[in-house]
Amino acid sequence: MSKNVILARMGEVTLKGLNRGKFEIQLKSNLKYRLRSYGKLAIYQSQSRIWIEAKDDENPVFKSEESAKEILHAVTQVFGIVSASLARKFEGGIEDIITNSVEYVRNYLNEHPDHKTFKVEGKRGDKSFPLKSPEICAEVGAAVLENFEQLSVNVNEPDFILYVEVRDYNYVYAGKVMGHRGLPVGTAGKGMLLLSGGIDSPVAGYMMASRGMQLDAVYFHSFPYTSEQAKEKVVDLARIVSGFSGKMNLYVVNFTQIQLDMYKNSPQDMLTITMRRVMLQIAEKLAEKSGCKCLITGESLGQVASQTLEAIAITNEVTDMPILRPLIGLDKEATCDISRRIGAFETSILPYEDCCTVFVAKHPKTHPKHVDIEEAEKNLDIEKMVSDGVAGVEIIEI
């Protein structure tokens, strides 16, 4: 009797000192949550590895090769996991090891028909097993060669390595799917992501989540200047980010009246910065209410007028909360690469306008001074804008 199990490898977590245990517990709990729809699971750890298997041997999702691969993919989406492999676990002697190895390689070659060379690496953890590691390798290698004419052995640069481990049970596996590394979400507090419908902010959220941060998000919506579709797009992006960061609340702020007021009562060339300052103050209030300890934006230095050092300094003034800008030193192409890798890009480039493009100034000030902002806000009731924004918020559970 053999079963599919998943072997996941931990990364940075293993470098932790005294509080390593705390990180490991969080990681296992995140895996459990991510895999909650796949039945009752046993998730256990040995050294820097985590093993995942169904508690019930008859669990159909683990039995089928197809859905086991789906679970494998889900495991690699969890921060803290460096890579994962689908393994076969079984009991018995060398005969069983050979049968299972051949069976495993057959499935493996279906996925990797171009692989022509291999080697076997054996590990005998159970010293009472009658064959030593090199003998196990020799037996398994010979059986694989006999069963698959197209394969030959290459010990230096094989296309794949077939690992055989003999411990409490026997395990065979080959190949690995790379994970997203990072630290388990939930080990670095919670942050409020300013999430627009663009390319940058979902990536910014992903990056902070990769450092263990849990997220809530806020979106400033200016209906009907920004359409219902633009909001749906942000909800979709929030879902994509939450695939990595876990459960989140999306706060949708009704920003229309605030923007109209600004448009009417403050100078055009300072509009973006004035608006950004109000956004941050509303975001800060929502963050305080929901236990978030920082704000996160998708800004990158020099990308647009509102992202110069002077503009950033002036927007920072309105809040005492740390504002994290993980993309600050990335160029657009690097951000787009990450966006593609996390599956957000196609959604981000859908052509629905965001609020900044509707109320955008033709010649924004790129190097604003303090007097400029005083002038710009002189005829605005900022305090009321902020409290109205907070009061009119809609909360969507993602």
Is residue 55 within 8 A of residue 40, CB to CB? The reply is: yes
Q: Which of the stretches 31-39, 150-158, 300-308, 370-378 binds ligand ATP when contact is defined by CB under 6 A?
A: 300-308
Nearer to ligand ATP, 45 or 256 (CB): 256
Q: Contact with ligand ATP (CB under 6 A): which of 53, 165, 200, 216?
A: 200
Nearer to ligand ATP, 166 or 194 (CB): 194
Cβ 273 to ligand ATP shortest distance, Å: 10
Type and span of the H or E element at 121: strand 117-124
Residue 377 binds which entry of ligand ATP, Mg ion, none, with Cβ cut-offs from 5 to 8 Å by kind? none
The conformation of residue 211, written as its DSSP 8-state character, comes to B
3-state secondary structure of 14: helix
Nearer to Mg ion, 200 or 372 (CB): 200
Is residue 244 within 8 A of residue 214, CB to CB? The reply is: no
Cβ 326 to ligand ATP shortest distance, Å: 10
How many CA atoms within 13 Å lie on the side-chain side of 78? 28
Q: Does 201 bind ligand ATP (CB under 6 A)?
A: yes
Q: How far is 325 from 193, CA to CA, in rounded Å?
A: 10
Nearer to ligand ATP, 298 or 389 (CB): 298
Please count the helices (runs of H) and the strands (runs of E) in the chain: 15, 15
What is the per-residue binding string for ligand ATP in 85-124, x denoting contact by CB under 6 A? ----------------------------------------
Distances (CA, A) of 204 to 129, 149, 189, 241: 51, 49, 16, 10
Q: Does 196 bind Mg ion (CB under 5 A)?
A: yes
Residue 372 binds which entry of Mg ion, ligand ATP, none, with Cβ cut-offs from 5 to 8 Å by kind? none
Residue 98 binds which entry of ligand ATP, Mg ion, none, with Cβ cut-offs from 5 to 8 Å by kind? none
Pinpoint the alpha helices (H) of the chain. Answer: 20-34, 60-63, 65-76, 94-111, 133-147, 200-209, 228-245, 256-265, 271-290, 309-316, 332-341, 345-348, 355-358, 370-377, 382-391
Q: Does 364 bind Mg ion (CB under 5 A)?
A: no
Q: Contact with Mg ion (CB under 5 A): which of 179, 198, 205, 212?
A: 198
Q: Does 206 bind ligand ATP (CB under 6 A)?
A: no
Q: Which residues bind ligand ATP (CB under 6 A)?
A: 194-196, 198-201, 218-220, 297-299, 303-304, 306, 354-356
Q: Which residues bind Mg ion (CB under 5 A)?
A: 196, 198, 354
